[in-house]
Amino acid sequence: MKKPRVLIVEDESAIAELIAVNLRHNGFDPIWSEDGDSAQRELDAVLPDVILLDWMLPGQSGLVLARKWRGDARTKTIPILMLTARGDEPDKVAGLDAGADDYITKPFSTQEMMARIRAVLRRRTPDRASEAVSVGGLNLDPVTHRVSWHGAPLKLGPTEFKLLNFLMNHPERVHSRAQLLDKVWGDHVFIEERTVDVHVKRLREALGAGGALVETVRGVGYRLTAQAVAQVESQPRVAAPQA
Under DSSP, the state recorded for 175 is: B
* Spatial separation of the C-alpha atoms in residues 105 and 87, rounded to whole Å: 6
Nearer to Ca ion, 16 or 43 (CB): 16
Query: Whole-number minimum distance, CB 60 to Ca ion, in Å?
Result: 12
Strand order in the sheet with 146-149: 133-135, 138-141, 146-149, 152-154
Query: Whole-number minimum distance, CB 20 to Ca ion, in Å?
Result: 15
Nearer to Ca ion, 82 or 213 (CB): 82
Under the binding rule (CB under 5 A), the answer on residue 187 touching Ca ion is no
Nearest to 195 by CA among 208, 210, 182, 207: 182
Under the binding rule (CB under 5 A), the answer on residue 141 touching Ca ion is no
Query: Whole-number minimum distance, CB 84 to Ca ion, in Å?
Result: 9
Nearer to Ca ion, 53 or 168 (CB): 53
Query: Whole-number minimum distance, CB 118 to Ca ion, in Å?
Result: 24
Nearer to Ca ion, 83 or 206 (CB): 83
Query: Whole-number minimum distance, CB 14 to Ca ion, in Å?
Result: 11
Query: Whole-number minimum distance, CB 54 to Ca ion, in Å?
Result: 4
Binding mask 102-121 for Ca ion (x = CB under 5 A): --------------------
b/e sequence 30-57, b meaning 16+ C-beta within 10 Å:
bbbbbbbeebbebbeeeebbbbbbbbeb
> How many residues form the binding site for Ca ion (CB under 5 A)?
3
Window 8-67: residues binding Ca ion (CB under 5 A): 11, 54, 56
Give the CB-nearest residue to Ca ion.
56
* Spatial separation of the C-alpha atoms in residues 127 and 143, rounded to whole Å: 15
* Spatial separation of the C-alpha atoms in residues 134 and 19, rounded to whole Å: 46
> Can you give the binding site for Ca ion, defined by CB under 5 A?
11, 54, 56
